[in-house]
A and B are shown apart, each in its own frame.
Chain A
């Protein structure tokens, strides 16, 4: 079965600390992986996708097929990074997104 697991409901760090939001997936094939973010009182929006291999707002994520993981990382957290983060999987040749339960990131000053 296709599944996305985000083991942490809440992650709290201080400004300037490194951040790693964990995401593991189960999928028999080559999925496309995404990270979506939802800031307070805003709609869900794409943060990054693994095929782009780009860094957005200082965040990066590497797809590790051996460990079936797609962890989101940032070396120095900022207060404006505080938000809800969702990892999502899109199976080949469909638009259907399968989301994890989300991790709330709190960055304290």
Chain B
């Protein structure tokens, strides 16, 4: 099991563009959470998906949206990119009915120019 995987590893976009980031959860996990980690900061919760629905959301604007597929993988979409969206985007997976912790992926580094 490769654990949580994310693609792409790095991405460069310009202001105003749209981006899609992808995440495959750890085998056996059905819940995916997304976090944004700006330089020098801890990860900040964006939202969580379970059963293909957004279950919880952090303090992020509607430009941030997501999707979960039947195979539990997930996408994070960001529209109208701003310079301030430059960050490491982390995906974490877990099992909804388990008290086990979240497992994190390696992240996607997004740079907005």
Chain A positions near chain B (C-beta within 8 angstroms): 4, 6, 34, 43-46, 49, 86, 88, 94-102
Interface string of B66-90 (1 = CB under 8 A from A): 0000000000000000000000001
Given the known interface contacts A43-B104, A44-B104, the answer about A99 and B43 at a Cβ–Cβ threshold of 8 Å is yes
Q: How many interface contacts (CB-CB < 8 Å) are there between A and B? A: 49
**Assembled-state Cα–Cα distance A100/B41 (Å):** 8
Chain B positions near chain A (C-beta within 8 angstroms): 3-4, 31, 33, 35, 40-45, 48, 56, 58, 90, 92, 94, 101-107
Query: Contact partner of A99 among B42, B103, B106, CB < 8 A?
Result: B42
**Assembled-state Cα–Cα distance A86/B41 (Å):** 10
**Is A49 a contact partner of B42 (Cβ separation < 8 A)?**
no
Interface centre among B35, B42, B45, B104 (most CB of A within 10 A): B42
B3 to chain A, nearest CB (A): 8
Q: Which residue of B lies closest to A86 (CB)?
A: B42
Given the known interface contacts A43-B107, A44-B90, the answer about A98 and B101 at a Cβ–Cβ threshold of 8 Å is no
**Assembled-state Cα–Cα distance A97/B48 (Å):** 11
**Is B56 a contact partner of A95 (Cβ separation < 8 A)?**
yes
**Is B43 a contact partner of A44 (Cβ separation < 8 A)?**
yes
**Is A95 a contact partner of B102 (Cβ separation < 8 A)?**
yes
Query: Contact partner of B42 among A45, A94, A96, A100, CB < 8 A?
Result: A100
A45 to chain B, nearest CB (A): 7
Q: Would you mind naming 8 contact pairs between A and B with Cβ atoms under 8 Å apart?
A: A34-B101, A45-B103, A95-B56, A95-B94, A96-B56, A97-B92, A99-B42, A102-B42
